[in-house]
Structure 1
Amino acid sequence: MKSTAGESGDLKVVQLFDAIDKMKQYDEELLLKKHKSIRKQQLSNLKARLYHEVLSSLRSLKQQENIDLQLHEQLDFARLLYNKGLYLQSLKILDKIKELAKNNNQVTYILQVVFLEKKIEALHITRSMQDRAEKLSHESVEINERLRLIGALSDLSLQLYSWYIQHGHARNNHDREQLDALMSQNIIEESSKTSGFYEKLYRYQCFCWYGFIIQDFLLYYRYCQKWVDLFHKEPKMMEVETMHYIKGMHNLLSAHFDLRNYQKFEETLEQFEVFAKSDHIQHSQNNLIQTFIYLYTAKLNKHFMEGTFTKGLALVPEIEEKLKHFEIYLDRHRILVFYYKFASLYFGSGDHEKSIDYLNKIINWKVDLRTDLQCYARLLHLIAHYELGNFDLLEYLLKSVYRFMSKMNNLSVVELEIFAFLKQSFRLTPRQLKPHFEKLLSKLRKLSKNKMESRAFMYLDVISWLESKIENKDVQNVIREKYLKSKS
């Protein structure tokens, strides 16, 4: 009877899988209506069994691709042998696990191995070497110290990244003091002489986020390069920690973009594109999604650097299609960044109405992150309406944007100067405008050299916009000429 019931249950799990697989969208009522053999009271248990079976199958399929799964399985074998009283056989497997874990920098697994080794040695006579206890004790202390360091550095890295996601770049001296306080922790000094892979990785990440947030782009670049070089020195770690390598490449590309290292940007982008086509990326949904985000971010940035805005618009439908395809996997922050880049592309190419469409998507999306992006989307939105000559809207928008940025503690001298100019420009004739454009440009060029004021220029190339108004050229042509001049 038990066997029959089991077989019946297995059959229903298969039927449930087939039924769900055929659905475009899960509909429980429709499923029960079409499959009378599956009763409503059984469905919860059947779904739980199916979920377990799917995960088990995925584990078997992906085991050789994932060092965690391999080590976990071997540890399970070692524990099974121990529970059967086969202590020496268990110790042999533990030796192999330890070697594999060391070769792949998997410190947490080494600790688990040492813990089980100590248990065996403490409870059973294995006739192992005389100084076995001392060696295991020393190894345990060393690993625990490494894990403490890795844990503290990864915590700090996460704190800095979280600060950026919430606020963007440092806005004032108060922000700078907060960030300096984070970076003055003892763990930074402790980790300066570390040799472990993960200790170095998280240390480099801390300095990357710090340099990027305070807009010290040379510091940012230096540690982005160290981050990527760490993987190139240990290539096998590119498969073990693929996501960290992808993120490192993204940050290195961003550093080259911020410093206008045109040739290095091209070389790194080409290298990243080759990596994105590798089997390791193509066979992993997670890796595919992340490479899509960062590869297309770099491709858009290339058009911003080179002043080829109109050409870059060809990427927008392609990216939007992929955003829709990966929609359930993407966080709001990534989508907002793409919308802002789309808006900037359309603005630079002279299509201000289309730019406003994307800026409205950001402005109307009620989110509690990237307040900097929310602020500069509103400022670009204001300038786009100015370009369209929507002066009846501008007075209202000026007050609205000013209030929003003030509330978000995001007003700097740069924004105040822009607001003052736009407010005054309503009453000026086209002939009177040019001297005022020139005066504002002169002020902003001076402010661009001040780190606490320069953050605005990362989001809006106001200087190129002003130059375009003075020289009566398209914004993208102004940027293109600067790019070509730097290359000659």
Structure 2
Amino acid sequence: MTKDQKDNLFLLVKSLTKSEKRQFKLYVGRLGVNTDSKFLNLFNVLDKASSYDEAAILKTGIVKKQQLANVKAHLYKQILISLKLNPSHQNIRSQIREQLDFASILYHKGLYKQSLKILDKSKEIAIQNEEKNLAYEIVELEKIIESQYITRSISGRADELTIQAKELSRLNVIASKLSNLSLQLYGIFLKTGYVKNEIEAKEITDYFNNRLPKFDIKELGFREKLWLYKAHLWYSFLLQDFKNCFKYASKWVDLFYDNPNMIELNPVFFLKGNNYLLE
């Protein structure tokens, strides 16, 4: 059976760079895996193949038909783990997530002070890098630990965490509503294209205004502003208001230049903004 270019594992293997393939084989070597292991042999076969051909794989004799699905699943997982360990795929977001995992382990081990120390540092990094969803998750774990009165922390800690949780939640809700609006407007654009008359223009305007959340622009961070500008951009596209398209594409790009550390963290959004600006 041939599933040319449609098998997920095959596509993943073919997406790997030479460096990533080398990293994977080094990772497998550290696991102490036998060089004749089924999943490693399957990797080598797929790496050399020009298309996915299940019959050809079975013909090599490296794996039996009834074993193939499990071997493929195992190989897929090991490749992803290897990629996760690759420095080129690690960013602030993954580092914060890793620290949160460490803090959870320490918490379950009963090492509450150590857990809180990691959480506090990770929360600061998350907020600095506009990772408010992760920051909120961190605060929630801090609340769980503190609510058990295990640490006998300084007075006022409960109020501090409550205020942080409320503020992060509020901004996360705004960001979510703006991202929903942006996505919905994009969906309308793909489905119907530009508005064709005044009636459709009014419908889109009402749709936009009814779903635009209330906010104070001065209180919005990078993430909220990004989704706000994206929503306005798609709204302007639908209305064929190209002057405002340029305006909000410019705001989008300038937002990154005002926050240069966000370019590395969100390179696709940065490139998209520049693309719309040049259209």
TM-score scaled to structure 1, two decimals? Answer: 0.49
Superposition RMSD on alpha carbons, in Å? 1.9
In the alignment, which residue of structure 2 is the partner of 1:11? Answer: 37
Does structure 2 conserve the Cα–Cα contact (< 8 Å) formed by 1:63 and 1:69? no
In 2, Cα distance between equivalents of 1:126 and 1:29: 61
Structure 2 residue corresponding to 1:190, chosen from 206, 215, 240: 215
In the alignment, which residue of structure 2 is the partner of 1:21? Answer: 47
Query: SS of 1:190's equivalent?
Result: coil
Does structure 1 conserve the Cα–Cα contact (< 8 Å) formed by 2:177 and 2:211? no
1:226 aligned to 2:233? no
1:127 aligned to 2:152? yes
In 1, Cα distance between equivalents of 2:222 and 2:33: 49
In the alignment, which residue of structure 1 is the partner of 2:177? Answer: 152
In the alignment, which residue of structure 2 is the partner of 1:141? Answer: 166
In 1, Cα distance between equivalents of 2:220 and 2:66: 57
In 2, Cα distance between equivalents of 1:155 and 1:112: 21
Amino acid corresponding to residue 25 of structure 1 in structure 2 = S
Amino acid corresponding to residue 220 of structure 2 in structure 1 = S
Matches within 5 A, 1:320-339: none
Structure 2 residue corresponding to 1:47, chosen from 51, 72, 75: 72
Distance 1:179 1:192, change over 3 A: farther
Matches within 5 A, 1:198-237: 198-237=223-262
In 2, Cα distance between equivalents of 1:143 and 1:71: 16
Matches within 5 A, 1:252-401: 252-254=277-279
Amino acid corresponding to residue 70 of structure 1 in structure 2 = Q
Which stretches of structure 1, 4 residues or more, deviate above 6 A after TM superposition?
none
Query: SS of 1:202's equivalent?
Result: helix
In 1, Cα distance between equivalents of 2:216 and 2:207: 15
Matches within 5 A, 1:426-437: none
How many residue pairs are counted as aligned between the two chains?
A: 248
Does structure 1 conserve the Cα–Cα contact (< 8 Å) formed by 2:83 and 2:89? no
In 2, Cα distance between equivalents of 1:189 and 1:77: 37
Could you give the per-residue CA deviations for residues 228-253 of structure 1, whole angstroms, max 9, x where no partner exists?
A: 11100000101111111111111111
- The structure whose RCO (Cα within 8 Å, separation 6+) is larger is 2
1:85 aligned to 2:110? yes
Does structure 1 conserve the Cα–Cα contact (< 8 Å) formed by 2:171 and 2:220? no
Q: Which runs of 5+ in 1 are unaligned?
A: 1-5, 255-488
Structure 2 residue corresponding to 1:95, chosen from 103, 111, 120: 120
Matches within 5 A, 1:407-418: none
Does structure 2 conserve the Cα–Cα contact (< 8 Å) formed by 1:188 and 1:203? no
Which protein shows a greater Rg? Answer: 1
In the alignment, which residue of structure 2 is the partner of 1:168? Answer: 193
In 2, Cα distance between equivalents of 1:90 and 1:66: 22
Distance 1:170 1:247, change over 3 A: same
In 2, Cα distance between equivalents of 1:52 and 1:224: 39
In 2, Cα distance between equivalents of 1:178 and 1:192: 25
Does structure 2 conserve the Cα–Cα contact (< 8 Å) formed by 1:63 and 1:70? no
Shift of 1:136: 0.4
Amino acid corresponding to residue 162 of structure 2 in structure 1 = S
Shift of 1:15: 1.0
1:117 aligned to 2:167? no
Amino acid corresponding to residue 32 of structure 1 in structure 2 = L
Amino acid corresponding to residue 40 of structure 2 in structure 1 = V
In 2, Cα distance between equivalents of 1:221 and 1:101: 31
In 1, Cα distance between equivalents of 2:203 and 2:35: 59
TM-score scaled to structure 2, two decimals? Answer: 0.84
Shift of 1:158: 0.8
In 1, Cα distance between equivalents of 2:195 and 2:237: 9
Query: SS of 2:215's equivalent?
Result: helix
In 1, Cα distance between equivalents of 2:174 and 2:84: 31
In 2, Cα distance between equivalents of 1:187 and 1:166: 21
Amino acid corresponding to residue 166 of structure 2 in structure 1 = V
Shift of 1:28: 1.1
Shift of 1:44: 1.0
Shift of 1:161: 1.1
Shift of 1:125: 2.0
Query: SS of 2:86's equivalent?
Result: helix
Does structure 2 conserve the Cα–Cα contact (< 8 Å) formed by 1:75 and 1:97? yes
Structure 1 residue corresponding to 2:81, chosen from 56, 64, 69: 56
In 1, Cα distance between equivalents of 2:160 and 2:214: 28
Does structure 1 conserve the Cα–Cα contact (< 8 Å) formed by 2:236 and 2:242? yes
